[in-house]
Amino acid sequence: MNTITKYIFRIRSSHTIAALPFALIGYVYAMTSTGMYFDWLLLAEIIFCMVFARNTAIGFNRWTDRKIDAENSGFETRNKIPSGQISARAAILFGIANAVGFIIIAYFINPLAFALSPVALFIITGYSLTKRFTAWSHVILGTALAIAPIGTYIAVTGTIAAVPIILAGVVITWIGGFDILYSLRNIDFERKHHLYSASARFSTAGTIWISIILHLITLYAVVILGIYTGMGWLYWIGTALFSGLLVLQHIFSLPSRIESKGDPLRWINEFAGIVYAAFAITELLWR
């Protein structure tokens, strides 16, 4: 098995699971709001684009962070380049190949998707460099993932509208708030190596408060979306569950539990997105 193939198998489903639920909301909303029939070929193209985009980001991220991750004992399972299991050349070639695949699929979707594909790639790869100069790299990560609902709406309609933009706002603040909390587990390393993150720049309490503010904006956007689109009771049940899971994230991130939050925090966050999307999509199909 060559190094590229091994690299593909080492990319976990969690790398796309945060964006996919919101991409599906964007797809279903575009279909139902325009009265179009479901196009399963288009949906497959959208999913391929998401996989290609995320693989591009992963390849570039592992390549740019290889020296940093080599010094971080907690990242040996994340980045296989420092250990020699994957070569730096294989990682960057993997990213380039997936970027080409992304652009090709976008070409077959519609002209606007194709025209904006380089912009999308610039954002998702540029995120990896932001931790070197801004403490708000977490929000930029959210922005990279927020491309998903906008992209799916463009793929279906060839235009842009208010609802996918609101959905993008949900993703930006939801992911940004989560990633800020998650960065607390790596605060000592980031400060030692002069990396930028909210947790490295601010106090633990300040970092948590920034995350809370971002998640309050998330909930505000979710409520606005429900009102704007006239969602029914199923959507509001999903919103309530989503809100409760965000609260649970912050319980796991109390200063007394920071050392033990790691993976449970990620699982809660991923489950929150799935739950919200499941109820939102069901509501859109039901009404």
Distance, CA of 274 to CA of 253 (rounded, Å)? 21
Decide if pLDDT at 259 tops 70: no
Decide if pLDDT at 176 tops 50: yes
Cα-based distances in Å from 194 to 76, 104, 127, 131, 180? 20, 39, 17, 10, 17
Distance, CA of 236 to CA of 243 (rounded, Å)? 10
CATH number of 3-286: 1.10.357.140
Decide if pLDDT at 284 tops 90: yes
pLDDT tens profile 61-106: 888 877 776 666 555 556 667 666 778 888 889 999 999 999 999 9
Q: Output 71 or 207, whichever has higher pLDDT.
A: 207
- Percentage of residues of the chain with pLDDT beyond 70: 82
Q: Within 13 Å of residue 108, how many CA atoms lie on the same side as its CB? A: 13
User: What pLDDT, on a 0 to 100 scale, did the predictor assign at position 67?
Assistant: 75
What spatial distance separates the first Cα and last Cα of the chain, rounded to whole Å? Answer: 49
Distance, CA of 214 to CA of 43 (rounded, Å)? 31
Average pLDDT over residues 196-204: 75
Is the pTM higher than 0.75? The answer reads: yes
pLDDT tens profile 215-244: 999 999 999 999 999 999 999 999 999 999
- If pLDDT is split at 50, 70 and 90, which confidence band does 211 have? very high
Cα-based distances in Å from 268 to 21, 175, 280? 14, 12, 18
Kindly list the domain boundaries of the chain, sorted by start residue: 3-286
Q: What does the mean pLDDT of the chain come to?
A: 85
| Nearest CA among 158, 198, 283 for reference residue 232 | 283
pLDDT tens profile 29-65: 999 998 888 888 999 999 999 999 989 998 888 888 7
Residues 27, 156 contacting (CB under 8 angstroms): yes
